[in-house]
Amino acid sequence: MNKNAEIIAVGSELLLGQICNTNAQFLSKELAQLGINVYFHTVVGDNADRLKHAIEIAKKRSNLIIFTGGLGPTKDDLTKETIASILGKKLVMDEEALFSIKEYFQKTKRVMTENNKKQALVLEGSHVLPNDYGMAPGMVVEEAGYTYMLLPGPPKELQPMFLSYGKLSLASKVDVSEHIISRVLRFFGIGESQLETEIESLIDSQTNPTIAPLAGDHEVTLRITAKHQSIDKANELLNNTEKDILSIVGEFHYGYNDDTIFSVLFQKLKQLNVSISSAESLTGGMFGEEITQFSGASSIFDGAVVCYTNEVKEKVLGVSSNVLSEYGAVSEQCASSLANGIKSLMNTDIGISFTGVAGPSDLDGKPVGTVFIGMSLPDGKTIVKQLNIPGTREGIRIRTVKYGCFYLLKELMHRNA
Amino acid sequence: MNKNAEIIAVGSELLLGQICNTNAQFLSKELAQLGINVYFHTVVGDNADRLKHAIEIAKKRSNLIIFTGGLGPTKDDLTKETIASILGKKLVMDEEALFSIKEYFQKTKRVMTENNKKQALVLEGSHVLPNDYGMAPGMVVEEAGYTYMLLPGPPKELQPMFLSYGKLSLASKVDVSEHIISRVLRFFGIGESQLETEIESLIDSQTNPTIAPLAGDHEVTLRITAKHQSIDKANELLNNTEKDILSIVGEFHYGYNDDTIFSVLFQKLKQLNVSISSAESLTGGMFGEEITQFSGASSIFDGAVVCYTNEVKEKVLGVSSNVLSEYGAVSEQCASSLANGIKSLMNTDIGISFTGVAGPSDLDGKPVGTVFIGMSLPDGKTIVKQLNIPGTREGIRIRTVKYGCFYLLKELMHRNA
């Protein structure tokens, strides 16, 4: 059947501006991919009367109503209770959900208070969506031509629940005559407007696939979207457009869809079976943190030294006092010495180093944003890249690490295991 | 007069999930400070009929309706036009706005196309809000007891416009016979439901101030909100309620409002003038990264060693091979040795260490989530805390670092500089 959706977020914290309604964004994106039209988002507080009012309005204009939030253990969590009263349905204890809540408390060695049981209550006759990252289960109820889906408020619970269980449940209800397939191409080291200018003629001439640039998180992505009755044909359209785009700006391209510069570098290091260590000054450990987010990181990452003071650079990483006094900590010479020093201390194939001025003040006469990245490579070659990065302290630090990964990736790109 | 507000965001890009409705969050925060209740947020696409429908609903429940977006030059920008038709008002050219649009094009040396003039049209009889960071002006119209405020969609234009002009215009209409003041108390190491159970009698008995718990990002907050004609009296009410709350769950309290566990620890270390270094296994450098996000970090943080392999633990940080073979890397003994090792290597007052199993698989027979945090303190004492943390790999890592900061903060709490 044809589904028109409305997303109702329940929570006074949204109306007070304490958090942003990122759940509506996430779900809207997902629903668009399923070919479901979203016509309204509504946010309402933890108030039964106003929630009831919002549901009555939504029923006049939508037949799929997705609720986020209000499934927790406390008294102001009242989404289930309100829907139950509108639909004239009972709330019943879901034994499986209760079991996993009990298990959760046992595992964390915390005391389970009585109000936690409330989270295992579900609408009678509903299809329960397990919560793999929290306690309150979600649910889907069908009633008089309407589909109601209830999801927990915390994005860390909602997102995996929707992707693992909710999406499938909706997909089975949607009528698919045309397939809409998207692919995201990820770029680094080029600005949004420059990228758009370079491929302007492609953007102007394309209607299927469409090409949509989007800037975010210090990188640029292009989303290409094709429509066709045949999935294969839609994919072929995407392949051709991707080829056209990469023939122009391929040098800045590093990955697809949910790839990050970190995941791509991690995979490349694993594929080549080379180990790495990092010497980090302005980045304070950020490279190490990012590369160890992946399970199995120990097979390629040995460790790091965060050398925030000159003493540590000298004493632990063997940068000569000469280099520090003559060129300073923020210099090509220091970056080179740090990269070689960490590689030798940790006995790895590659050493990477980050030194620079994160701000807010200049350092040793070097302006904020001056950054040197050193790479001591498996063949004994040491390369240093200099950058001038604009932005805030935090922005400079993140982009420094991303640039380091991007440069190293480019160096490794054409090597094979 | 008493104002109940609704925020209507107009834009299909919001319903497609391409952007998040950060404007609603920004405005909600601002309105709360003005003492204006926000009961609903609505998002509607670039469609005149559906926008009309949303306005009709809003008029039944709110008397201040704030619109964001749909003021631009293109055909799908139709907020002004739709409101004009509902109110039976004309759109008239605002010469001042037209002048600044022309000026904008001259300044940026771009050609002004005819459709840009549309942006200078305003609702007849409206109070115009200048746009200092873009072209489309905002406006405020009063009609039959309702206040309509129209603001541009881009946050970079909306925020300064509201702060410089919109807020003032609203403040003059609001009855400030009553002040609403909020304070957020931040807790760590206690779950939302446990916190609520502990202070249940307080929550049940309070009406002014109100107490609202909120979980998020591995911590729990309580927002206490007082209303009173006198600001001083409202603050006094907050002070008393805070005192009552902390007499019960004070041991888990670490800060207020926008504090983070990292900012509070950083301030405490600076205040005591003690230096710190970290030895990080499962956290991969996260402690170092978090503590160096603050400018001036070098005065208290010397550096870190990320010891992802046993070899680095032994060779760089001096953990004895005996400890590693007998107890393993994930053990009280290893955490203690790492904390002492980094303190001595970096020559700091405090050494903190993190070792544990981030998952997804068990390690050396220790289950996922087993974590040891070592603290080598200025007085020579070494303390190790053991934890069992549930959740994802990333969640375990973040909470490990936050627990470390929390425990250390508790140790330092009663020391003075």
Which pLDDT tens digit goes with each residue over B338-361?
Answer: 999 999 999 999 999 999 999 889
pLDDT at res. B165: 94
pLDDT at res. B28: 95
Is there a domain that residue A328 lies in?
yes
Across the interface, do A345 and B17 touch by the CB < 8 Å criterion? no
Same domain, A10 and A159: yes
Same domain, A265 and A204: no
Task: Extract the tokens encoding A100.
Answer: 């996993």
Across the interface, do A76 and B316 touch by the CB < 8 Å criterion? no
Same domain, A215 and A138: no
Q: Please tell me which residue, A404 or A169, carries the higher pLDDT value.
A: A404
Same domain, B163 and B15: yes
Same domain, B297 and B234: no
pLDDT at res. A416: 63
Same domain, B85 and B230: no
Is there a domain that residue A53 lies in?
yes
For chain B, the domain total comes to 3
Same domain, A222 and A273: no
| Residues spanned by the domain of A338 | 261-412
pLDDT at res. B12: 87
pLDDT at res. B1: 52
Could you tell me if A40 lies within 8 Å of chain B, comparing CB atoms? yes
Across the interface, do A360 and B22 touch by the CB < 8 Å criterion? no
Chain A residue numbers touching B21 (CB-CB < 8 A):
20-21, 24-25, 41
Same domain, B184 and B164: no
Residues 10-29 of A with CB under 8 A from B: 12-22, 24-29
**Candidates A25, A40, A312; nearest CB to B346:** A312
Listed residues A208, A227, A256: the one ending a domain: A256
The full 3-state SS of chain B, as one line of letters, equals: CCCEEEEEEECHHHHCCCCCCHHHHHHHHHHHHCCCEEEEEEEECCCHHHHHHHHHHHHHHCCEEEEECCCCCCCCCCHHHHHHHHHCCCEEECHHHHHHHHHHHHHCCCCCCHHHHHHHEEECCCEEECCCCCCCCEEEEEECCEEEEEECCCHHHHHHHHHHHHHHHHHCCCCCCCEEEEEEEEECCCCHHHHHHHCHHHHHHCCCCEEEEEEECCEEEEEEEEEECCHHHHHHHHHHHHHHHHHHHHHHEEEECCCCHHHHHHHHHHHHCCCEEEEECCCCCHHHHHHCCCCCHHHCEEEEEEECCHHHHHHCCCCCHHHHHHCCCCCHHHHHHHHHHHHHHHCCCEEEEEEECCCCCCECCECCCEEEEEEECCCCCEEEEEEECCCCHHHHHHHHHHHHHHHHHHHHCCCCC
Same domain, A283 and A158: no
Is there a domain that residue A417 lies in?
no
Could you tell me if A133 lies within 8 Å of chain B, comparing CB atoms? yes
pLDDT at res. A258: 84
Across the interface, do B41 and A15 touch by the CB < 8 Å criterion? yes
Tell me the pLDDT tens digit for each residue of A80-115. Answer: 999 999 999 999 999 999 998 998 888 777 788 888
Chain A residue numbers touching B358 (CB-CB < 8 A):
295
Residue B301 contacts residue B277 (beta carbons within 8 Å): yes
Chain B residue numbers touching A29 (CB-CB < 8 A):
16-18
Supply the Cα-derived Rg of chain A in whole angstroms.
Answer: 26
pLDDT at res. B206: 83
Spell out the per-residue pLDDT of chain B, length 417, in tens: 567 999 999 998 899 888 899 999 999 989 987 888 999 999 999 899 999 999 999 999 999 999 999 998 877 789 999 999 999 999 999 999 999 888 877 876 667 777 888 899 999 999 999 998 888 999 999 999 999 999 999 898 999 999 999 998 898 877 656 777 889 999 999 988 889 899 999 988 888 998 888 777 678 899 898 888 888 999 999 999 999 999 999 999 999 988 999 999 999 999 999 999 999 999 999 999 999 999 999 999 999 999 999 999 999 999 999 999 999 999 999 999 999 999 999 999 999 999 999 988 999 899 999 999 999 999 999 999 999 998 889 999 999 999 999 999 999 987 765
Q: Is the pLDDT of residue A417 over 80?
A: no
CATH (domain of A315): 3.90.950.20
Strand B64-68 to B4-10 pairing: parallel
Q: Please tell me which residue, A9 or A115, carries the higher pLDDT value.
A: A9
Is there a domain that residue B250 lies in?
yes
Same domain, B241 and B228: yes
CATH (domain of A199): 3.30.70.2860
Quote the ipTM score. 0.73
Max mean pLDDT range (A69-83, A320-334, B185-199): A320-334
Listed residues A120, A147, A171: the one ending a domain: A171
Task: Extract the tokens encoding A153.
Answer: 């408020």
DSSP class of residue A217? T
Predicted confidence band of residue A3 (pLDDT cuts 50, 70, 90): confident
CATH (domain of A78): 3.40.980.10
Same domain, B188 and B312: no
pLDDT at res. B172: 80
Instruction: Report how far residue A252's alpha carbon sits from residue A413's, in angstroms, rounded to the nearest whole number.
Output: 12
Same domain, B49 and B165: yes
DSSP class of residue A381? -
Closest residue in A to B310 (Cα) is A302
